[in-house]
């Protein structure tokens, strides 16, 4: 009953602040709430960090969350309705969970911690079969599925090349270059090949091969799918994917817990070697010995929070070096399922524009939400920015035009429900998840996750191995919480990732053009050896 109570208490929707906020004048003699650790953000990383503190018997902390619910970018919404008039729950944000390998590394089984939580809370999910796909262009069904096999062969070779670059300490390159060397060289006017490439690269990274790191793009995917398993399951739980976060929160937070501050927008952070003071838009403030900032990379890049003193140049450079991607799912419910009911994915090659409403996914298929008549299409990067500036009506007309091209023999009706998020406009996220750009070294990434005095950073973007994934946020939150607990309890040398003087994570002022081989260690956030990195 305790889990049910806290889940009900934490349910709800975001209350957004105003753009262009000007920091308020501070009153002389202002009194702040004092705590040992302030956790900034109530997403996966923030809740996991607080849980790590609790597990280390440190319960003097507060969690400051912008929205009126925890979960962060794990965000579900009511959409459409079933035959009984009850709404479906769909995921605007994180949607998939990677399963466990039946045979793990060596003699042990390696399990994704998010999959462990999914089992713990009986999260409803179903296998995404990426082989269940039909291909289309502006004339209707057109079979260019052979290109998927051609790309797959080139991708395998590219993975081998990436592993060699990584282990031999060679210069990184764009994914475009790496794929071309491996034999994948689609012409700009071959829109079928462009669609296949989008399906195989952009859909995962939220950026094109031209802007993505080849080495770390390949390594990041392999570290997840080779270590945890190739299967991806789509979460379709009526409680929402965030049930795993609210469920874990209920294990150490009481209903109406005074340590959880919802509807709290952080505006200013003052940090020093002696502590951190956090000022909020509502006039409240918190004084802490340490703070763990789990804000998204997008929030840090958009100056949504002011830092005093300004973050050092090495930190600012790292923040603005990495990319924040936008992954926008556009949902539609119709009064019938006019698309093939036994197929999960439908790949569309626009005759003129790469990434123009390229992948439709059916939720009406058996195993997901059969009979729901719900389908959604995903756009990323420039197309995501474009549709997020449009009205629902403008976007709906564009999507319907594409569907009518894909299914020319069908009478495509108006949807009975339609909607999508505007990630670029959400002031608590400013995007969906991070991506590692080309030519960026692991040293630069260590600067992204390194602490500034007693202000620490955690989240999916600070995970070298699992950036962009929910389990990356889990690992990073847990590690930051454990490391700060070790510092508070004077046992720093027992915890990997911080130096013996308890000053925190190492950062690099001079940067090298390539990543030194000895940087690939657990202490620097790289969790496995180079053998696992190779394809």
Q: Which residue blocks in 229-273 are alpha helix, DSSP H?
A: 243-249
Residue 34 CA from chain centroid, whole number: 32
CA distance 432 to 296: 9
CA distance 35 to 515: 38
Q: Are 243 and 124 in contact (CB under 8 A)?
A: no
Phi/psi at 73 (5° precision): -80, 5
Surface-to-core class of residue 535, CB atoms within 10 Å of its CB (0-12 exposed, 13-18 middle, 19+ buried)? middle
Closest CA to 413 of 463, 373, 466: 373
Closest CA to 98 of 228, 263, 208, 203: 228
CA distance 481 to 459: 12
Closest CA to 305 of 272, 273, 278: 278
Tokens 């965000």 sit at which residue? 75
CA distance 361 to 375: 6
CA distance 192 to 200: 12
266 is in an annotated binding site: yes
Q: Which residue blocks in 328-441 are alpha helix, DSSP H?
A: 381-389, 392-406
Contacts of 391 by beta carbon, 8 Å cutoff, 6+ apart: none
CA distance 495 to 515: 24
CA distance 16 to 428: 8
Contacts of 85 by beta carbon, 8 Å cutoff, 6+ apart: none
Pairing verdict, β 323-325 and 433-435:
antiparallel
DSSP line for 182-193: TT----TT-HHH
Sign, CA dihedral 435-437-442-446, equals negative
CA distance 45 to 87: 29
Residue 349 CA from chain centroid, whole number: 26
Q: Which residue blocks in 322-438 are alpha helix, DSSP H?
A: 381-389, 392-406
CA distance 223 to 203: 18
Tokens 């849980």 sit at which residue? 51
Tokens 């925190």 sit at which residue? 504
| Binding-site residue positions | 266
| Binding-site residue positions for FAD | 266
């Amino acid at each position: 009953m305790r889990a049910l109570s806290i889940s009900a208490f934490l349910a709800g929707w975001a209350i957004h602040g105003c753009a262009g906020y000007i920091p308020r004048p501070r009153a002389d003699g202002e009194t702040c709430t004092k705590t040992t650790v302030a956790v900034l953000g109530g997403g996966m990383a923030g809740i996991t960090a607080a849980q790590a503190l609790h597990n280390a018997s440190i319960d003097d902390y507060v969690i400051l969350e912008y929205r009126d619910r925890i979960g962060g970018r794990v965000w579900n919404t009511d959409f459409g309705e079933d035959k009984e008039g009850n709404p479906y729950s769909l995921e605007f944000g994180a949607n998939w969970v990677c399963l466990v390998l039946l045979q793990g590394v060596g003699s042990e089984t390696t399990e994704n911690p998010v999959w462990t939580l999914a089992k713990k809370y009986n999260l409803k999910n179903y296998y995404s079969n990426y082989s269940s796909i039909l291909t289309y262009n502006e004339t209707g069904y057109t079979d260019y599925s052979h290109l998927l096999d051609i790309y797959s062969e080139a991708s395998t070779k590219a993975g081998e090349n990436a592993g060699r670059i990584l282990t031999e300490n060679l210069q990184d390159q764009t994914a475009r270059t790496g794929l071309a060397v491996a034999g994948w060289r689609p012409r700009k006017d071959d829109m079928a090949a462009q669609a296949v490439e989008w399906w195989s690269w952009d859909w995962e990274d939220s950026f094109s091969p031209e802007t993505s790191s080849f080495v770390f793009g390949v390594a990041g995917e392999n570290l997840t799918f080779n270590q945890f398993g190739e299967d991806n399951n789509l979460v379709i739980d009526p409680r929402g994917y965030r049930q795993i976060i609210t469920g874990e929160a209920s294990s150490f937070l009481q209903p109406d817990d005074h340590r959880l501050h919802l509807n709290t927008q952080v505006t200013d952070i003052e940090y020093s070697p002696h502590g951190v003071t956090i000022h909020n838009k509502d006039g409240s403030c918190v004084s802490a010995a340490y703070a763990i900032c789990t804000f998204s990379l997008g929030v840090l890049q958009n100056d949504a929070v002011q830092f005093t003193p300004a973050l050092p140049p090495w930190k600012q450079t790292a923040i603005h070096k990495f990319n924040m991607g936008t992954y926008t799912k556009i949902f539609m419910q119709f009064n019938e399922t006019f698309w093939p009911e036994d197929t999960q994915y439908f790949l569309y090659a626009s005759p003129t524009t790469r990434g123009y409403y390229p992948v439709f996914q059916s939720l009406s298929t058996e195993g997901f939400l059969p009979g729901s008549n719900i389908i959604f299409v995903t756009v990323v990067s420039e197309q995501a920015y474009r549709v997020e500036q449009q009205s629902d009506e403008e976007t709906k007309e564009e999507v319907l035009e594409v569907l009518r091209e894909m299914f020319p023999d069908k009478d495509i009706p108006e949807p009975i429900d339609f909607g999508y998020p505007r990630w670029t406009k959400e002031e608590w996220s400013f995007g969906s998840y991070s991506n590692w750009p080309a030519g960026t070294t692991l040293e630069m990434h260590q600067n992204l996750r390194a602490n500034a005095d007693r202000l620490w950073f955690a989240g999916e973007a600070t995970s070298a191995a699992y950036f962009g994934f929910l389990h990356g946020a889990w690992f990073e939150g847990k590690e930051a919480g454990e490391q700060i607990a070790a510092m508070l309890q004077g046992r720093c040398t027992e915890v990997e990732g911080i130096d013996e003087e308890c000053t925190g994570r190492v950062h690099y002022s001079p940067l090298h053009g390539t990543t030194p081989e000895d940087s690939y260690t657990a202490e620097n956030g790289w969790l496995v050896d180079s053998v696992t990195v190779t394809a």
